[in-house]
Structure 1
Amino acid sequence: MRIDVVSLFPDFVRQCAAVGVVGRAQQRQLLQVEAWNPRDYTSDRHRTVDASSYGGGPGMVMMIEPLRATLTAVRNAAPEPAHVIYLSPQGPRLTQGRVEALAKMPRITLLCGRYEGVDERLLAHEVDEELSIGDYVLSGGELAAAVVIDAVGRLQEGALNDALSAEQDSFANGLLDCPHYAKPVQDALGTVPEVLLSGDHAAIARWRLKQSLGRTWLRRPDLLSRCVLDKTSRALLDEFRREHASQALSRQNEAVDD
């Protein structure tokens, strides 16, 4: 897969894409990340990419021509069609489902805005979709681009040392992930649940699913409301709820006794 990023800070993009799973994916030639600076496609000696906004107001707007010229160069750089995404708080929220769909494309292009944004005419004619990583405002689209690159890059076949890691991530099945533990078994902070030490794979799978259901119920009930649970999952969730209520009651009684 190839990801092209249009940014005024191409070195930042390259550095983010050079480390971790994404860096390894590039080394294994599973992923190619290229950064393009619109200043390289300007026609004046000041390399101007922005201008004041018509109608007045603070801030500058990224102009059409440098971005259009950059996108033309991006499209001509490889034979695959470039699906252009503008990273903007006005776009639909990025989800794991959308990440999985993007990861199957041979090529995407990420357009990083700056200042007050990008001329609306360019967005209307040169951009295929807008995406947001959350309901907040950043100084530019580079951090959002890094998020998309990481989320998409790690799903390329062979990028992860264990392919099951992606299958068991939060959101992969619509639920949050279960708790995880490592050495030591016993610590001042607590003990690893016995079931995880039992070697009983069926019991471990059951515990993990129950914890995943329960954690989603506690922290992201909106996700749970969109899931269609089978009979086993509903029973496990009910079991978790009863245990949670019992533990809460015990804590209340202990607080009264103190």
Structure 2
Amino acid sequence: MRIDIITCLPKLLEGPFSDSILQRAQNKNLVQLNIHDLRQFATNKHHKIDDYAFGGGAGMVLMAEPIVRCIRQLQSERSYDEIIYMSPDGDRLTQTVANELSLKKNLIVLCGHYKGVDERVREHFITREISIGDYVLSGGELAAAVLCDAIIRLLPGVLSDETSALTDSFQDGLVAPPVYTRPADFEGHKVPEILLSGNEKKIEEWRFEQAVKRTRDRRPDLLDK
């Protein structure tokens, strides 16, 4: 998989992609992440990429021209399955969306900033808009990192145990059941006996029951679906 991220703040993305699972995925050549500085595609001598909104109002807007120049350059080199814009009013990022995108080959992710991007970019170049929640961040960079993490960890070979992703919360429409590790007795608080029984069938039944109970208690909206 190849993911190209367009941003006006490339340094914000250095940290999330330089450690842990995302770094290992790159080192193993399972994913290629490319960060493009939007200012490099500005056409003015001051590398200006934003301007005031027509009609007035507070805040600046990312201009269409540098964004489109970057997208077109990337498209001249390869074909892309999706051009995604991270936006508070996009479709909610869910595990189902992450599963779907993990099957793609080439993605462009555009990070918004200030008051967003010129609407003409969204109308004519963006193929999909995604939100990570009903709140506003200073820019789309952290949201893009969340999206990439959710996608990349699903790629074959990224996790040391590939079955791990299949048992994550939301994969079956439920949150995950409680988990325990050593010691079996911690300050008088004991691990449920069933988990020490070695009976895999009974353990799986217990985990499913606990997942349903926890979902009912904490995320009943998932059961409604």
| Residue pair 1:39, 1:49 contacting (<8 A) in 2 also | yes
Deviation at 1:75, TM superposition (A): 1.9
1:134 is aligned to: 133
Distance change (3 Å), C-alpha of 1:73 and 1:203 = same
1:122 is aligned to: 121
Q: What SS class does the counterpart of residue 91 from structure 1 fall into?
A: strand
Q: What SS class does the counterpart of residue 4 from structure 2 fall into?
A: strand
| Residue pair 1:80, 1:106 contacting (<8 A) in 2 also | no
1:26 is aligned to: 26
- Report the Cα distance in structure 2 between the residues aligned to 1:50 and 1:165, rounded to whole angstroms: 43
1:70 is aligned to: 70
- Report the Cα distance in structure 1 between the residues aligned to 2:136 and 2:150, rounded to whole angstroms: 20
| Residue pair 1:85, 1:129 contacting (<8 A) in 2 also | yes
| Residue pair 2:12, 2:142 contacting (<8 A) in 1 also | no
1:217 is aligned to: 216
Q: What SS class does the counterpart of residue 16 from structure 1 fall into?
A: coil
Q: TM (normalized to structure 2)?
A: 0.97
Runs of 5+ in structure 1 lacking a partner? 227-258
Q: TM (normalized to structure 1)?
A: 0.85
2:79 is aligned to: 80
- Report the Cα distance in structure 2 between the residues aligned to 1:208 and 1:69, rounded to whole angstroms: 51
Q: What is the CA deviation profile of residues 25-76 of structure 1, one whole-angstrom value per residue up to 9, with x for unaligned ones?
A: 1111111110001100112121000000111110000001111111112223
Give the length in aligned residue pairs: 225
Task: Report matched runs for 1:138-149 at 5 Å.
Answer: 138-149=137-148
- Report the Cα distance in structure 1 between the residues aligned to 2:178 and 2:144, rounded to whole angstroms: 29
| Residue pair 2:132, 2:143 contacting (<8 A) in 1 also | yes
- Report the Cα distance in structure 1 between the residues aligned to 2:131 and 2:15, rounded to whole angstroms: 22
Query: Over aligned residues, Cα RMSD in angstroms?
Result: 1.1
1:4 is aligned to: 4
Deviation at 1:81, TM superposition (A): 2.1
Distance change (3 Å), C-alpha of 1:14 and 1:72 = farther
Mean Cα deviation higher: 188-197 or 132-141:
188-197
Instruction: Select the structure that is richer in helix.
Output: 1
Q: What SS class does the counterpart of residue 88 from structure 1 fall into?
A: strand
Aligned-residue identity in percent = 42
Structure 2 residue 155 is the aligned partner of structure 1 residue 156: yes
Larger Rg: 1
Deviation at 1:189, TM superposition (A): 6.5
Instruction: Select the structure that is richer in strand.
Output: 2
Mean Cα deviation higher: 170-179 or 66-75:
66-75
